[in-house]
Amino acid sequence: MTVTLDCRICGGTLHEFFDFGRQPLADAFVTPGDASEEFFHRLAVAMCASCTMVQLLEDVPRERMFRTDYPYLSSGSTAMQEHFRATARYFLDRELRDPGDLVVEFGSNDGIMLDTVARAGRRHLGVEPCAGVAQAAAAKGIRVRNAFFEESTAADVAATEGPAKVIYAANTFSHISYVDSVFRGVDALLAPDGVFVFEDPYMADIIERTSFDQIYDEHFYFFTVRSVQAMAAHYGFELVDVEHLPVHGGEIRYTVARPGARTPSPAVARYLELEKVGRITERSTLDRFASNIESLRATLRGLLERCRDEGRSVVGYGATAKSATLTNYCGIGPDLVSFIADSTPAKQGTLSPGSHIPVRSPEAFADPYPDYALLFAWNHAEEIMRKESRFRDRGGRWILYVPEVRVL
């Protein structure tokens, strides 16, 4: 474990703005009866006074987080399947013009994006360290290398495959503390006119919605347009485009290129201005975010305790990684939420990390329906509420906590 005191990118001074204390690994679901001890780490976040990058203070060894049995499956949401199909079509139409052009995706998981590229018969390669999800992608006919993307992997891919026109990463680049090695890898692999495109949760949306549950071990950096522009420049690249996406509660898709290779889009300057006006990277804003986190905890706990005291049943929906921070920080255990319904086979029959709430199948949710359902997978609210419409028809109520605590 590495404890960071200076910015991982520019070496500037870090200002800590929130400490969640000791937290478990958010995707380390516990097998009941397993005597081996859970791994805890200190989860605290800080902002760099120089380059403004928001980052964790402690870096969990990557092999502990991204294991063979990593349970997260990207294809568990139909809305996300549609999002990644559209992403693939965008690359096929806009970037991969020549039939020989190559797209490399790191963090390709079960192949949710590359599936469309492979079906179109185009050159692609996934780089994914978790063997289980990598195999799921390979079973769909997708080419995958079971490795961590970093300088050596990228150099090896460049030597065997040639340059990549597109290097892509969704919800992965912000998971990687060692960005220096990744950028050297991008430099080794990217074609002269190629683009490195990545999309990750947007810090401005996290602040605005108090979605502090986005903060957990795997999310090492929290990007803004300003901090990504500074990071790209630091490693010899240029931020040339940004696009705000509605997925996962608000993300930005960043397009980075070699300096001068592309004309920067006006969206970059527009977002820099929006961030300035919104004071996103000011310490006072982060202090307000911190006090909003504390109030959210008090409000949500108060509501759940009232439900319990009145004898109402409450079940969680979606055993998300995010819910690890929420339940452990708010002190929500099986006394307040009796179980969590989740569609992921590998999570069913386990206990949630740290808070030890049993995870069961979505069928258990209807057997019988509870009085209240706490929607941990709030980023999939539309899809889940549609799928579970009978719950409300039968008098059930959803509890949401993003952007504020409310009962629907």
Nearer residue to Zn ion within complex by CB, 200 or 388:
200
Total site size for ligand TYD, rule CB under 6 A: 19
Nearer residue to ligand SAH within complex by CB, 126 or 370:
126
Q: Identify which range of 6-14, 70-78, 130-138, 394-402 contacts Zn ion by CB under 5 A.
A: 6-14
Query: Is residue 232 at the binding interface for Zn ion, with CB under 5 A as the rule?
Result: no
Instruction: Count CB atoms within 10 A of the CB of residue 151.
Output: 18
Give the residue, chosen from 210, 325, 379, 402, that forms a contact with ligand TYD under the rule CB under 6 A. 379
Nearer residue to ligand TYD within complex by CB, 79 or 147:
79
DSSP string, 82-111: HHHHHHHHHHHHHT--STT--EEEES-TTT
Nearest partner of 226 among 10, 45, 58, judged by Cα: 10
Query: Is residue 10 at the binding interface for Zn ion, with CB under 5 A as the rule?
Result: yes
**CB-closest chain residue to ligand SAH:** 107
Strands 54-56 and 40-48 come out as antiparallel
Binding residues for ligand TYD restricted to 41-100, rule: CB under 6 A: 72, 76-77
Cβ at position 217, least distance to Zn ion in Å: 21
Query: Is residue 380 at the binding interface for ligand TYD, with CB under 6 A as the rule?
Result: yes
DSSP string, 153-184: HHHHHHHHH--EEEEEEES-GGG-S-HHHHHH
Q: Identify which range of 56-64, 142-150, 179-187, 343-351 contacts ligand TYD by CB under 6 A.
A: 343-351
Quick one: what does residue 383 bind among ligand TYD, ligand SAH, Zn ion, none, with the CB cut-off 5 to 8 Å set by partner type?
Answer: ligand TYD
408/403 Cα distance (integer angstroms): 13
Q: Which residues of 182-215 are buried (b: 16+ CB within 10 A; e: fewer)?
A: bbbbbbbbbbeebbbbbbbbbbbbbbbbbbbbbb
Chain centroid to Cα 11, Å, comes to 25
207: amino acid identity, one letter:
I
Nearer residue to ligand TYD within complex by CB, 278 or 362:
362
399/375 Cα distance (integer angstroms): 6
Binding residues for Zn ion restricted to 53-72, rule: CB under 5 A: 53
Residues lying near ligand TYD in the complex (CB under 6 A) are found at 72, 76-77, 318-322, 342-344, 347, 362, 377, 379-380, 383-384, 387
